[in-house]
């Protein structure tokens, strides 16, 4: 069973940072999409944003594309999201 990392454990990992503060929809999610596309499987991505629509957009992005959203919160006017790029399932060859 996979365990969820705490915020301090996430911060101690290697990750890509997307600073989307000041950007409006759809730019934060577009930046996330581009970063995920270039990242290795299992890579961690931290997103900082100020646009309240990211609360809906990032959660929907992760849900629909199956990238685990490990943690998110809002503090003051900053939204922070931790996303992990999904790992492809290994398919056995029944050939």
25 is catalytic: yes
Active-site residue, from 10, 25, 31, 69: 25
CB 32 within 8 A of CB 58: yes
Which of 73, 66, 69 has the alpha carbon at shortest distance from 82? 69
Sheet holding 78-84, edge to edge: 15-20, 44-49, 78-84, 69-75
The total number of residues shown for the chain amounts to 95
So which residues are the catalytic ones?
A: 25
């Amino acid at each position: 069973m996979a365990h969820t990392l705490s915020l301090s454990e996430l911060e101690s990992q290697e990750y890509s940072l997307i600073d989307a503060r000041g950007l409006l929809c759809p730019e934060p999610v577009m930046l996330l999409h581009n970063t995920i596309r270039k990242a290795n499987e299992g890579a961690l991505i931290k997103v900082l944003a100020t646009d309240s629509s990211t609360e809906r957009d990032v959660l929907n992005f992760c849900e629909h594309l199956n990238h685990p959203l490990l943690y998110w919160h809002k503090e003051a006017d900053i939204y922070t999201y931790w996303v992990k790029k999904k790992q492809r399932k290994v398919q056995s060859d029944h050939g």
